[in-house]
A = this chain, B = another copy of it.
Amino acid sequence: MNPPLSPSREARLRIRRGEHVGHTVAMAPGHVQGNLMILPKALADDFLLFCQRNPKPCPVLAVSEPGNPFLPALGEDVDIRHDLPRYRVWRDGVMVDEPTDIAALWREDLVSFVIGCSFSFEQALLEAGVPLRHVETGRNVAMYRTSIATEAAGVFHGPLVVSMRPMRPADVVRAVQVTSRFPQVHGAPVHIGLPHLIGIQDLARPDFGDPVEVREDELPVFWACGVTPQSVAMAVKPPLCITHAPGAMLITDLLNHRLASF
């Protein structure tokens, strides 16, 4: 008999076999999930530099060799061509397909970037007793383009995108403490309480995701968001770019608790 598979590997195998094509929320609890961005090598070097200069929105968990679909740092068997439930294929900045497998599109010059996502710090917040309204109501987090410019690198530049979670003041303190421990998955908030100072005019109208109520006894708290690298990359209109479909992430063997810095 073989030893039992880890929950993360089991989830990847189900996805690889086409048995799961939806989002990955709550799959393999405790394991780090990642955003995917695949670019041709001709753009990948600048994109890596962009991530290095903007670690809060673009915390890189792993970068593949060109043409190599494996990412052993995230799981021995990870094959980026099959292991996400759904992908988005973009040509010249336009989405042209949403396949469940990208083996047919694979090329020798493709480089995969896996970028940390907020699922990890949201688990830590919930474990610390900080309620998250968008999770409770089963909605997507509210995201906004800001007036804060990212640090440009080569062709890549554009505004910082942030996610927003409303919370009571004592939870704001706890949330800063908890998320500061996770620099690889966006880390501490970038802003608290005064959205107009970062170019957000109307909290009720997010640029991405779903709106969420901010009650009178709450402050809006803003984190750098993994939509930033995607929106920056699309602005360049790369000849080919492949990303995860929203919510359909790569499930890695890394444990959220292992990411904590202290």
Contact = CB atoms under 8 A, between A and B. Distances in A.
Interface in A216-252: 217, 219
A192 B193 contact: yes
A218 B183 CA distance: 25
A188 B169 contact: no
B177 A194 contact: no
Which of A173, A177, A180, A194 gathers most chain B CB within 10 Å?
Answer: A173
Given A180-B177, A197-B217, A217-B197, A172 B192 contact: yes
Interface string A168-206: 011011001100100000001111111001000000000
A194 B194 CA distance: 12
A25 B190 CA distance: 33
Contacts of A172: 192-193
Contacts of A197: 169, 217
A216 to B, nearest CB: 8
A176 B219 CA distance: 15
Nearest to A192: B169
Interface SS majority for chain A:
mixed
Given A177-B176, A262-B262, A192 B192 contact: yes
Contacts of A173: 176, 188-192
Given A176-B173, A177-B180, A193 B191 contact: no
Contacts of A188: 173, 177
A219 B193 CA distance: 8
A172 to B, nearest CB: 5
Contacts of A217: 194, 197
Contacts of A262: 262
14 contacts: A169-B192, A169-B193, A169-B194, A169-B197, A172-B193, A173-B176, A173-B191, A176-B180, A177-B188, A192-B219, A193-B193, A193-B219, A194-B219, A197-B217
Given A169-B191, A170-B190, A170-B191, 4 more contacts: A169-B193, A169-B194, A172-B192, A176-B177
